[in-house]
Amino acid sequence: MPEPIRVRGSVVVPDAELVWRFSRSSGPGGQHVNTSDSKVELRFDLASSKALPEVWRERALERLAGRLVDGRVLVIHASEFRSQWRNREAAAARLAAVLGEACAPPPKTRRATRPSRGMVERRLFNKRHRSELKQGRQAPRGE
């Protein structure tokens, strides 16, 4: 079994809350692909999870609303590897990344600032200088 899925900090999703399904994967593998169940589907019932703190769960349900099945279950598919074990690891890592991002606190609001007077003067000076430089490159106008 892969390592426990760590969301953020010390919060871990227990294996009891995960549902694994395996099926035949398309793609490379030759004749082997017809006999092995290497595609992985990982289901996590986000709405009824006891592993996440209440605030995180609400935040994740809101942010992942478009990805959830029936508004509660997060489904992750992995079939990029030929081995079921590596696909399980990939699905677990993807679930941890999705949950970690969804549970993250909202970014701090940006405080509006004004450029300093010196910065404004430098910008205008450089603008004038660049304009004069380009004017100097033009051929004189015929009169």
pLDDT averaged per 10 residues, the chain (length 143): 73 86 74 72 89 89 89 90 88 92 90 96 98 92 70
* Rounded CA separation 54/75 (Å): 20
Cβ atoms of 64 and 102 within 8 Å: the answer is yes
Give the pLDDT of residue 90: 93
Distance CA 32, CA 20 (A): 21
**Residue 50, pLDDT score:** 86
User: In this predicted structure, what is the pLDDT of residue 141?
Assistant: 79
Gap between the Cα atoms of 42 and 22, Å rounded: 9
Q: What CA–CA distance (Å, rounded) separates 140 from 53? A: 73
Q: Determine the pLDDT at residue 125.
A: 98
Q: Is 74 helix (H, G, I), strand (E, B) or coil?
A: strand
Residue 121 to residues 48, 85, 112, 131, 136, Cα–Cα distance (Å): 58, 61, 20, 15, 22
